[in-house]
Amino acid sequence: MKLHTWFAAALVAVAAAAQAQDPIRIGSFLSVTGPAAFLGDPEQKTLELYVDRINAAGGVLGRKLELVAYDSGGDAEKARTFAKRLIEEDKVDAIVGGSTTGETMAVIPLVEQAQIPFISLAGAVVIIEPVKKWVFKTPHTDRMACEKIFVDMKARNISRIGLISGSGGFDKSMRAQCMQVAGKYGIQVVADETYGAKDTDMTAQLTKMRQNGQIQAVLNAGFGAGPAIVTKNYRQIGMRAPLYQSHGVASKEFIKLAGGAADGVRLPAAALLVADALPGSDPQKKVVTAYQREFESRYKQDVSTFGGHAYDGLYLVVDAMKKAGSTDKAKVRDALESIRGWMGVDGEFNLSPTDHMGLDLSAFRMLEIKNGDWTLAK
């Protein structure tokens, strides 16, 4: 008997040691290729970069992190398959991924059933509203972008606006959110025009708006080449009312495409975009400049806000694991809900059982393009 007891004890010890050596597995599925590659590519690079850095600093709870990432190519069906594989075969401890809203929504039923913490990197508000027990997200929502713009308009005594939006998914979602919250800010949408995702000329829609004598400002909810064409056409036909763009064009590419026409355009954007222009007193400055420096020195490419979402997602999970003192899925989930005042690249996160994103309007900065560069709008 004694021998047996010893043997059993040894087995337990070996198992425990093995467990201590076992890495914590972070699963991910991202649109690294395909039409949404501009999202998934910086996200994957960010996850790889910071998993390495966390491991170099000793890992989490004395264990190393291991990243298990798949390329969904922006396809919701593939995302579902990979999420299933992450949960059932790779047995990951948490999932950080889902570059697009479509992929994320396809995966939600799986993670809810498997009861595994999932932090989405996609934008739409439907991901966290209504609140789903196991689903969190890090990017700002398009509703917040609308609200930030309307706050700025009110400050400039603008109350009647024209809205022009594209036919893409981002554009439509943002248009709907803006229409929904406009009333709350005393903004009246007096013209509502649209254009096709691949349209090459919007002067007709803008001329129609110019004929509408009431419009005090124009808001373009759009993504891709459309907003740059709108901006050029806007100047071409000589419209003088202020032009607002969405956070969807918050990249240097937009300024490059629209050229001189971009001057004077206002838009809400993440602090990361103007990391250098932030005053030293800004509480977000330290984290965004560090992220920018580390990403750009490793990959020799410009940092993007999308990679920032992945940074926040990874660190929120790590933080929750440390708080929970284990990788137990239920404990990590509870710990996620209790994170307060954590400063990430996207802003200050204050998560709660009713708010699974935890950002407020302070996460956005209102920018104005001047001389071909971003400046903080006064």
Partner 1 sequence: MSAPLLQYLLSGLTVGAIYALVALGFSIIYNASNVINFAQGEFVMIGGMATASLAGAGVPLALAAPLAIAATTLVGVALAKLAVERARGASVVTLIIITIGASILLRGLASLIWDKNIHALPAFSGERPIAIGGATLLPQSLWVLGVTLVVVAALWWFFNRTLHGKAMLATSHNPLAARLAGISVRRVLLLSFGLSAALGALAGILVAPITFTAWDVGVMLGLKGFAAAMLGGLGSGPGAVLGGLLLGLAESLSAGYLSSAYKDVIAFGIILAVLVLMPSGLLGRRSSDRV
Site for partner 1 in 282-321 (CB under 8 A): none
Question: Residue 306: CB partners within 8 Å, gap ≥ 6?
Answer: 38, 39, 42, 43, 99, 121, 139
Angle (CA) 240-245-249 rounded to 5° is 135
Strand 160-165 vs strand 188-194: parallel, antiparallel, or unpaired?
parallel
Residue 4: CB atoms within 10 Å: 8
Residue 257 contacts partner 1 per CB under 8 A: yes
Residue closer to partner 1 by CB (options 120, 205) is 205
Residue 263 contacts partner 1 per CB under 8 A: no
Q: How far is the CB of 95 from partner 1 (least distance, A)?
A: 26
Residue closer to partner 1 by CB (options 35, 58) is 35
Least Cα distance to 249 among 188, 308, 165, 191 occurs for: 165
Residue 194 contacts partner 1 per CB under 8 A: yes
Q: How far is the CB of 265 from partner 1 (least distance, A)?
A: 16
Spell out a b/e string for 348-359, using b for 16 or more CB atoms within 10 Å of the CB, else e: bbebeeebbbbb
Query: What mask, x for binding partner 1 by CB under 8 A, covers residues 43 to 82?
Result: ----------------------------------------
List 46, 205, 305, 327, residue binding partner 1 (CB under 8 A): 205
Q: How far is the CB of 193 from partner 1 (least distance, A)?
A: 5
3-state secondary structure of 133: coil
Residue 133 contacts partner 1 per CB under 8 A: no
- Tell me the CA distances in angstroms from 1 to 5, 6, 8, 245, one per residue in order: 6, 9, 10, 77
Residue 154 contacts partner 1 per CB under 8 A: no
Binding stretches for partner 1 (CB under 8 A)? 35, 37-38, 193-198, 200-201, 203-205, 207-208, 210-211, 224-225, 228-229, 232, 236-238, 253, 256-257, 259-261
